[in-house]
Amino acid sequence: MEADFKCWLDGTLRGTSASERVSQKASFRNKDIDPYAAKLIQALDPIGKRLFPCAILAMGEVVAGVAIFACLAGAALVSLMVYERFPAHHRQDDTRAVVRLAANLFVVMSSLVLGLMINSAKSSFETIDHNVHTFATELILLDRSLRQYGPETGAARASLTAYLQRLVDAASDTQRTPTVANRLSELLLNQVGDQLTALNPPEARHAATLQVAQQQLQKVIEQRWVLVEQSDGTIPVPLIALLVAWLMLIFASFGFRAPRNGTIVATFLISGALAAAAIYLILDMDTPFSGPIQVSQAPLQRALAELTE
């Protein structure tokens, strides 16, 4: 799951070369910034052509959901098919009652674990969503400080705008993560820091503004790495495996002494699909930079609009 946050906000992962992005000058409405951004992206073009198998990584949760469905439906159907082959003393009512009691025990435990997983995934999703909003706000404040300093920060603003443009362009349903651990994105932010360091403030007011901008840039970098660290899912894999094992036992008990007909088989398949879908959505929410449930791109889009106006 660590790969989740390493693809979402980097346009290079979609196979889009830097030259193609430079041609999209309409996104940079400030004509003073665009030439700087074009030169910077062209300089980093060899890095920008590097591709990552994000589409393959994005299939991980889907594969897990399909595997869970196969396990649950398979457990019920196998139990249904092999029940008649059990010895007679294994098919007595007392045996069936004990099997049902054992299954009921795991029904309660599975319900509790599912509730905890939903709460954990929801909490993680809301925290990361809040941090993305904070990240976008810090970018806007940094740009405001650079504007306040004067035209000398044009190159730094160009680097910052190019960085944010790539983040917004790269966000898609097939990407696994935002920004961050990508080398090109890191170079763009480092470029901003180098350009600020190279400035020579002519007076105390400019020196104070530059100091504020450098502090804000540090906050942006810190928030970026906070998001990187939070990209890993919080639900441990062994817990998921244990939950699936409990559910398999429950579904197997459904097939124990059940009549063999199409209605029963259809019920097992539908129940297995719904249970697997629920677990899939929980896992997807736990990794909020991929799948159908994702952190909103709106904060970054609004920040880009502010930077390019």
Confidence check: pLDDT of 54 > 70? no
Structure-model confidence comparison of residues 21 and 203, the more confident one: 203
Residue range 93-97: mean pLDDT, rounded? 76
* Lowest-pLDDT range of 90-104, 131-145, 153-167, 204-218: 90-104
Mind spelling out the 3-state secondary structure of the chain?
A: CHHHHHCCCCHHHHCCCHHHHHCCHHHCCCCCCHHHHHHHHHHCHHHHCCCCCHHHHHCHHHHHHHHHHHHHHHHHHHHHHHHHHCCHHHCCHHHHHHHHHHHHHHHHHHHHHHHHHHHHHHHHHHHHHHHHHHHHHHHHHHHHHHHHHCHHHHHHHHHHHHHHHHHHHHCCCCCCCCCCCCHHHHHHHHHHHHHHHCCCCCCHHHHHHHHHHHHHHHHHHHHHHHHHHHCCCCCCHHHHHHHHHHHHHHHHHHHCCCCCCHHHHHHHHHHHHHHHHHHHHHHHHHCCCCCCCCCCCHHHHHHHHHHHC
Highest mean pLDDT pick, 81-85, 162-166, 230-234: 162-166
User: Which single residue is written with the structure tokens 């920004």?
Assistant: 179
* Lowest-pLDDT range of 144-148, 171-175, 256-260: 171-175
* Lowest-pLDDT range of 67-76, 135-144, 160-169, 259-268: 160-169
Share of the chain above pLDDT 70, in %: 75
Q: Is the pTM of this model over 0.75?
A: no
Amino acid sitting at position 291 = G
Distance (Å, whole) CA 244 – CA 237: 11
- Domain locations in the chain? 2-308
Confidence check: pLDDT of 177 > 70? no
Distance (Å, whole) CA 27 – CA 252: 57
Confidence check: pLDDT of 55 > 60? no
* Lowest-pLDDT range of 82-86, 201-205, 268-272: 82-86
Q: Is 114 in contact with 240 (CB distance < 8 Å)? A: no
pLDDT of the residue at 135: 92
Residue range 93-106: mean pLDDT, rounded? 81
Distance (Å, whole) CA 161 – CA 139: 9
Question: Which tens digit of pLDDT belongs to each residue from 256-275?
Answer: 878 888 899 999 999 999 99
Share of the chain above pLDDT 90, in %: 28
Distance (Å, whole) CA 299 – CA 283: 24
Structure-model confidence comparison of residues 234 and 17, the more confident one: 234
Q: Is 287 in contact with 59 (CB distance < 8 Å)? A: no
User: Which single residue is written with the structure tokens 């940079």?
Assistant: 28
Q: What is the mean pLDDT of the chain?
A: 77
